[in-house]
Amino acid sequence: MAQYDDGTVVFEGKEIEVGREIVDVLGYGEIVVVLLYVSPNEQHPTNVLAFDKDGNKVWEIESPPEEREQRSYKSLNVVDGNLRVTNWNGYGYRVDVDTGEVTETGYTR
């Protein structure tokens, strides 16, 4: 189980400093996925990070594939065993947990 406070995540007993405000964390197998805070008006479309149990950054999510205004991600969860994120534009994405690659897109609003 992963926990967080301010800019620190605790995963498998290891403290991981991310240096920014954290919105949510999700333990997913051997990694912890971290959603960083970004204002809805700000454009920072790579605000989801993954770390291993030793605190090493495994990946930073890629930007959404749409050729529209790039907005940050606002939520993360697991659906049917798949890591899913949603952005402020109303799109949901499946994310490859090994690479941070966005592999599927769908409109959620």
Please check whether residue 102 is in contact with residue 94, taking contact to mean a CB–CB distance below 8 angstroms.
Answer: yes
3-state secondary structure of 38: coil
Question: What domains can be seen in the chain, in order of their start residue?
Answer: 2-107 (2.40.10.480)
DSSP line for 51-96: EETTS-EEEEPPPPS-SS----EEEEEEETTEEEEEETTSEEEEE-
Is it the case that residue 6 has pLDDT exceeding 70?
yes
Residue with tokens 């941070």: 100
pTM of the model: 0.89
pLDDT tens-place string over residues 67-97: 566 678 889 999 999 999 988 778 889 999 9
